[in-house]
Amino acid sequence: MQISYVDGPRFRRALLAACEYAQQQRGILNRINVFPVPDGDTGTNLALTLEAISDQIRGSRDRSISVVADQAAQAAVLGARGNCGMMLSHFLLGFATKVKGEDRIDANDFGGAMAAGVENLYEALEQPVEGTILTVMRDTANAATGAPTSDFAPLLEQLLVRARESLDHTPELLPILKSAGVVDAGAKGFVSLLEGIVLFLNGDPIVAPMDLAFTDGESVVANVELPEQTERYRFCTEALVRGDGLPDQNDVRDVLRARGDSLIVIRTGDILKIHVHTDDPEEVFAYLKTLGRLATHKAEDMKAQYAAVGAAARAHVSLARRPVGVVTDSAADLPEEVIRAHGIQVVPLMLVTEDEVFRDGVDITATQFHQWLGEDRVLPTTSQPPPGAFKDGFERCAQDSERVLSVVLASGLSGTYQSAEAAVGLLDEVPVDLMDSQGVSLLQGLLVLKAAELAESGMAPAEIVTELERIRDQSGLLFTVDTFDRLLASGRVGRGRAWIGTMLGVKPILEVTRDGKVVAAGKALGRERVLQTIMDFLVARVPPEVERVRFGIVHVGCPEMLEIVSAEIRRIWGDCEILTAPATPVVSTHLGLGAWGVAFMVED
């Protein structure tokens, strides 16, 4: 059957197949990743970027290719990791701009959209390097614009042939590839996307064949010297800024040009995404804070990554691209963009009704559950993840990491820690360091984020745990509830106390103690006094001359509190970092609508 046009559903199905197939190439792409730095992360970065795209478009029912292409591009920007993810994002943004307003496109339009994607990418790069994904994208787009057929099936077969030819030529354009005897990893990732689409069109299974050259786990990247002559900088630095009136990406590039290399900047709508190799990530972050809200930021030590790759090769184990990976559970309440930025594995807790079991944050989102709380429905009970779920999470994390560090919900509040502990006993070859966060919600989340940052800096797991324990002893979480209903249902208050509190308009102020228990810290009479009371408690708990403190604000169905509480925090502590998030379902069901809280993490 001839395919003469592509609309939203067809584009979505093809793109999902492309993402699924290319993600299966994760291991082999990491093993041949020698440019621009042999740190073995291209496969991981591409897979995480594609995961963000898939998650966004999978539930789309839009009929217009314009809408689906824009959804894919925006998701790619938010989830972009590494050079390859940023470059793919620029390509998709150019593609989406070209098909804007179109419900369907023909083969000629498709070629034009691919050419627009390549043009957008070239314009965005500070120093375009041939022999990379850029070259293969351009050669493929040129073949698309000059194709004689109007049928998409043979067209895509032809494009795949041209892309493979271009990929095979990459070692002739980059001496480091020729010396290592490999093709460019990012370019191979792009070819894998086309291969997935062609498999889909032919009705074949979206399953990658075993590449016999790499089945023994041998990593080309481990045998390539770190190019200190050309790669002068140490930290692979990425950040996401949100805000109105953000500067043009070229203006940002002009400022950051002197601070490093491998610079890629994306500006779309109220989002600014940057990738740069630098020796001073904090200087980069300080500049970006002047532009808007720094939503995510990370700096990975490329020398530590390179050392991890070498250690894995010498031990004849599967490739590890970083020394330590981080796993947590969904009670941490971390925003999705933070999870994606740091590659944190999240094991979902469970919500159980008479008829169904929901995975927290997977089968039901925070926003959906907050709506549920407002309806006259029986609420679910909660349950910790089974050991098998943690085992899966540890094994996923170990695909890229020498060791796994898991920071888990307080053992005094849930059996989650015990489940994680049982999972460790089920593992034979995955080394796991387990830490009881003695926290929940964004108190736990801030500790998880700190763990990821320390891991990215190259710190050893035992040292990370020691530092987290020190920080936890001087950090905490205060929260309030609007009604006593959920506290009453959970048995945390008695009926008599709840009735008196309701009659008098008392709003309890609760606190998570240093040993991970929830206790009453005080009370406020009426909603209008709750904010001031919690601020007073915070001032009493945060040392007056603190230099490094971060906050987290969480809510259950009252997002208006985010800005109100943020303003009060900044009035007292200045331009500090504040994470905000809706409470995940498993936390929300214990608090009820209208609850909100503030976590603080003192790092001095």
Pairing outcome for strands 261-268 and 293-301: unpaired
Q: What residue type is 244 in one-letter code?
A: D
Can you give the C-alpha Rg of the chain in angstroms? Answer: 25
Q: What domain count does the chain have? A: 4
Please answer whether residues 581 and 334 qualify as being in contact, where contact means their C-beta atoms are separated by less than 8 angstroms.
yes
- The fraction of the chain above a pLDDT of 70, given in percent, is 90
Same domain as 80, residue 167: yes
CATH number of the domain where residue 557 is located: 3.30.1180.10
> Based on the domain organization, do 190 and 277 belong to the same domain?
no
Beta-strand relationship, 322-329 and 345-347: parallel
Query: What is d(CA 487, CA 590) in angstroms, rounded to the nearest whole number?
Result: 6
Regarding whether 133 and 23 lie in a shared domain, the answer is yes
Domain containing 271 — which CATH number?
3.30.70
- What does the block give as tokens for 175? 């001496």
CATH at residue 134: 1.25.40.340
Alpha-carbon distance of 11 to 76, in angstroms, equals: 15
* 418 and 528 fall within a common domain: no
Residue ending a domain, choose from 412, 442, 472:
472
* Same domain, residue pair 344 and 415: yes
Alpha carbons 164 and 473: distance in angstroms, whole number: 56
Same domain, 421 and 489: no
Distance of CA 337 to the CA centre of its chain: 5
Given a cut of 70, is residue 285 above it in pLDDT? yes
Contact 345, 327 (CB under 8 A): yes
> Hey, is 5 helix, strand or coil?
coil
Same domain, 382 and 443: yes
Q: Please, are residues 276 and 235 in contact by the beta-carbon 8 Å criterion?
A: no
Helix, strand or coil for residue 68? helix
Task: Supply the DSSP string of 490-535, one letter for each residue.
Answer: HTSS-HHHHHHHHHHTEEEEEEE-TTS-EEEEEEEESGGGHHHHHH
| Domain extent at residue 499 | 476-602
Q: Which stretch of DSSP H or E encloses residue 301? A: strand 293-301
* 298 in the same domain as 280: yes
Task: Residue 335: give its domain's CATH number.
Answer: 3.40.50.10170
For residue range 167-180, list pLDDT tens digits in order.
999 999 999 899 88
pLDDT tens per residue across span 380-410: 899 999 999 999 999 999 988 889 999 999 9
Q: What token pair was written down for 455?
A: 């891991």
User: Looking at the domain assignment, is residue 1 inside a domain?
Assistant: no
State pTM to two decimals: 0.86
**Per-residue pLDDT reduced to its tens digit, 313-356:** 555 455 556 789 999 999 999 999 999 999 999 999 999 988 89
Average pLDDT score, the chain: 89
Please indicate, yes or no, whether residues 338 and 257 belong to a single structural domain of this protein: no
Q: Are residues 93 and 194 in the same domain?
A: yes
Q: Are residues 415 and 536 part of one domain?
A: no
pLDDT of residue 209: 75
Tell me whether residue 223 is in a domain. no
